[in-house]
Structure 1
Amino acid sequence: MDTDQDTFAPAIDPHTHLFPEGLMSAIRDVLTEEAGWEFDHPVARSAVEEILAEAGVETYVALPYVHRPEMARDLNSWLCEQAEVSEMLIPFATVHPEDEDVGNVVREAFEAGARGLKFHCPVQEVAPADPRIEEALAVAAEYDAPITYHGGTAPMFEDNHYVGAELFAELLDSYPELRVCCAHMGTYETDAFVEFAREYDNAYLDTTFAMSTQAEQTMGFDPGSIPDETFVKLSESIMYGSDLPNIPYPYREERAELLGRDLPEETCRDLFYRTAREYLGLPE
């Protein structure tokens, strides 16, 4: 049992991944080739949920994404089916910018049980406010559904034309009615993304990968560069996340750095539970 469970639990993990076995294997192969990461965590839903539950996670979000058109419908359906047999899983949906009817792809997923949208901007080659996904964003607004983006340049996208603080600012200014989260604390432009969380009521960040004890080794980012004061003052806009099962270290390392800071109890409750609950629109 995790010795920090009393501080961490009850928790929500709003950034995990579930994929069909073949697709997950392909994603891991790419990450191993490009980043050198090796993965030991099991990928089956039941095994992922066992890890989460043992740590004290009550609810988690699985974030899908697709790298080519005409994949999203099947992946969204598969993930919603996984949620039907789980007491913990909240499924998000995705859509590719080159799909024929992005609005209906998202609407069908929401009607099937998806609770939000996910875009991996560099992989899907789509900017956060890309005109090609305008209809998808409109459907999300209609359903009051949050949208999580990989919108930062880490860990290998510093020259990518679909990510960065400037493009995320365009999203925030264009869609003030949407709740949007930039994963990984917006690394490597963390200062700019922290300012977004400070300035925009609809802007959120998650700590995934960036605040792990292994961040320097895995992505060249120093978690210590973000002071405690940032988490205390912005705890209602920052939430924990993990990327489980696609992390090249034990799950406990995702939260160990934050727990080691001796943050106020109220701040921890926000980071590990309340902010995600608000972001996801869950009841009290």
Structure 2
Amino acid sequence: MSGPQAVVIDFHAHIYTDDMAPKAISSVKRRMGVRVPGLGTVSDLKESMAKAGVERSVILPLAPLPRHVGPTNDFFIAAAGNGDGLIPFGSIHPFQEDLEEELDRLLASGVQGVKAVPFMQRFYPDDPRCDRLYDGVAERGMLLLLHAGKVPEDLPEFFGTPDRFARMAKRHPDLVVVLAHLGGWEMWSAVREYLIPAEENVYFDTAYISPSLSSEEAGDLIREIGADRVLFGTDYPWTDQAEEIEFVEGMDLPAREKRMILSQNARRLLFL
């Protein structure tokens, strides 16, 4: 199983409008000083998928403020509308007034999950004020994907820490949550302490771990988590999809577990 022959689902990719993509990438390069191999447009993502052998990509929006949620979701639903491999998640803000209405609108459009970003939207995952979001997502049978841990930028606080996610998951056993970046980017010792023993409803994706972990280190952590709880994610355009597939294939894991990570777990969660 390698490269274009592999059947792969990327559970964590980002897109922007053609106008916004160059600005977003330029901003990240300037602020974080990181390599950005993708262009961030719909057309470039599709080319990347074809080259890497990625069958489907879950596209994840970002909405810093409640007023950004609706227009952002409109763009993502439209971008995935022709059914050629893009699976849209919706943006959501835990404190927006029309939260339930927006979840219903997304569900009616065929959207199966939503993403929230603690450090960007400035909320603590274990804040009881977020229960409205968690209950709304769980009641509708949707998935919740959350940025977890740090980012490659010097911020005073990151809000989404493994201990807070563990408390959230314990309080909401009916909520199926996916924590990006193997549960907490550059907070993996805390992932081991708090999240590996957490509820069975907690899943982890592999997005953007390769800049910080070797295949050996990542494989060790995945063995502790359990491969049945791990989803392949790239964080496109911030990493190269083909390179990220090779990163997973380089892990010292059984081929069966690599298949689970690269596609089977995602198929199960997305009912594909």
TM-score, normalised relative to structure 2 = 0.88
Please say if residues 152 and 182 of structure 1, whose CA atoms lie closer than 8 Å, have aligned partners that are also in contact. no
User: 2:250: which partner in 1?
Assistant: 260
CA drift at 1:145:
1.1
Letter in 2 for 1:179: V
Question: Gaps (5+ residues) in structure 1?
Answer: none
Unaligned 5+ runs, structure 2: none
Distance across 2 between alignment mates of 1:229 and 1:40: 26
- How many residues are treated as equivalent by the alignment? 270
Q: Is the 8 A contact 1:64 1:94 kept in 2?
A: yes
Alignment deviations for residues 3-46 of structure 1 (CA, whole Å, 9 cap, x no partner) = 6444xx11110000122234434432332222112434233323
Question: Post-superposition shift, 1:229?
Answer: 7.2
Please give the alpha-carbon distance, in whole angstroms, between the structure 2 residues aligned to 1:232 and 1:163: 21
SS at structure 1 position matched to 2:228? coil
- Please say if residues 135 and 175 of structure 2, whose CA atoms lie closer than 8 Å, have aligned partners that are also in contact: no
Indicate yes or no: 2:150 matched with 1:160: no
**Distance apart, 1:194 and its partner CA:** 4.3
Residue of structure 1 equivalent to 2:91: 94
Quickly say closer, same or farther: Cα 1:233–1:79, change in 2 above 3 A: closer
Q: From the superposition, tell whether residues 256 and 232 of structure 1 become closer, same or farther in structure 2 (CA, over 3 Å).
A: farther
**1:268 and 1:40, CA in 2 relative to 1: closer, same or farther beyond 3 A?**
closer
* Alignment CA distance shift 1:201-1:98 (3 Å): closer
- In structure 2, relative to structure 1, the CA distance for the partners of 1:79 and 1:4 (3 Å cut) is closer
The residue type paired with residue 254 of structure 2 is P
Matched, 1:201 2:200: yes
Contact kept, 8 Å, 2:170 with 2:198, in 1: the verdict is: no
Q: Answer yes or no: is the 8 Å Cα contact 1:59–1:88 preserved in 2.
A: yes
> For residue 139 of structure 1, what is the aligned residue in structure 2?
136
CA RMSD of aligned residues (A): 2.4
After TM superposition, the structure 1 = structure 2 runs for residues 61-72 of structure 1, keeping only pairs within 5 Å, are 61-72=58-69
- Percent identity for Structure 1 against Structure 2: 26
1:169-188 paired onto structure 2 within 5 Å: 169-185=166-182, 186-188=184-186
Secondary structure of the residue aligned to 2:258 is: helix
Distance 1:194 1:181 in 2: 16
Which secondary structure state, in structure 2, belongs to the residue aligned with residue 148 of structure 1?
strand
Shift of 1:105: 1.9
Report the alpha carbon displacement of residue 177 of structure 1 after superposing the two structures with TM: 0.5
For residue 24 of structure 1, what is the aligned residue in structure 2?
Answer: 21
Does the 8 A contact of 1:128 with 1:149 survive in 2?
no
Distance 1:176 1:256 in 2: 34
